Amino acid sequence: MSEADEQPAATATGREIWIEKYRPQGLDDVHGQEAIVERIQSYIDQDDVPHLLFSGPAGVGKTTTATAIAREVYGDEWRGNFLELNASDQRGIDVVRDRIKGFARSSFGGDFRIVFLDEADSLTDSAQAALRRTMEQFSDNTRFILSCNYSSKIIDPIQSRCAVFRFSPLGDEAVAAQIREIAATESIEVTDDGVDAIVYAADGDMRRAINSLQAAATTGDVVDEEAVYAITATARPEEIESMVTDALAGDFTRARSTLDTLLTDIGMAGGDVIDQLHRSVWEFDLEEREAVRLLERIGEADYRIAEGANEQVQLEALLATLALKAV
């Protein structure tokens, strides 16, 4: 997960934010990244922690792992030896020169301190160059942990100085286990199809899964499939499949009607429809040629929407292309 590890926060109504309340405190509590945790634990056991680079999508445990390392190394005094900066807010070279250097210089007694730089791929090239020099200068008493979504945006001199860990989206089993554990702790009744819906909507993002559970729990006594899809603005897999199948069969009108329902009634964004289409292509009962054709059109629509084109127009054009080739 990616926010600062603080004490559980409370909303205006007194309800705690569950992503903070159930944030793992130690490495053993990190779900779904067992291989990475094992390697990092070996570094700590040998008292030989290198600079680390964590890359991967949101909500898979990058920040949680960084704070867990600090807890393992420093115990109750971890906050005084751990500096967290978010590079998306503080992108310039002055942050590297001032805050990081000031913190690094304050280390004493031979023990190293940890600087955690979240969203490091947002740093400008000049700031990354300054960071590389700072990592060299204070390597004796400071360890850097960088997290990013795309390691390719980190300059090679920094990557070569770090042990790189690539966090993958969390498996369905890990997400489902955590959801059931939280539901039991909070005395929430959650059905099997409700858990499946949360896992599907989360798509490997534990933070999204926990937020979805908390939101669904406020809507009724039971968290079921209907409640989850209602609060997450996520289409049911069968709705996406029906829309694509109708288009491939040449029934554009019916496919367009389903799309209109997703965008207007459910309130989905065009990018979310594209994401669900992409996730579901190989789950549809399509011939390989049809699947490849659909992927090609999804890619074109995704690019155009990202460049600012009208979402509904692009999605209708996608369906129209599929329908025309079926006629």
Cα 232 to chain centroid, rounded = 16
Q: Which of 188, 84, 300 is nearest to 320 (CA)?
A: 300
301: exposed, middle or buried (Cβ count in 10 Å: 0-12, 13-18, 19+): buried
> Could you tell me the two tokens for 33?
């990244």
Quick one: pLDDT at residue 92?
62
Q: Which domains does the chain have, with CATH numbers?
A: 18-166 (3.40.50.300), 172-232 (1.10.8.60), 237-326 (1.20.272.10)
Rounded to a whole number of angstroms, the distance between the first and last alpha carbons of the chain is 47
- Dump pLDDT digits (tens) for 3-57: 444 444 443 334 688 999 999 888 988 888 999 999 999 999 998 899 999 999 9
Q: Can you tell me the distance from the alpha carbon of 78 to that of 282, in angstroms, rounded to the nearest whole number?
A: 46
Q: pLDDT per residue over 183-229, tens digit each?
A: 999 999 999 999 999 999 998 999 999 999 999 998 778 999 988 98
Tell me what pLDDT residue 11 has. Answer: 39
In this structure, what are the phi and psi dihedrals at residue 16, rounded to the nearest 5 degrees?
-75, 150
* pLDDT tens figures, 113-143: 899 999 888 888 888 888 888 888 888 888 9
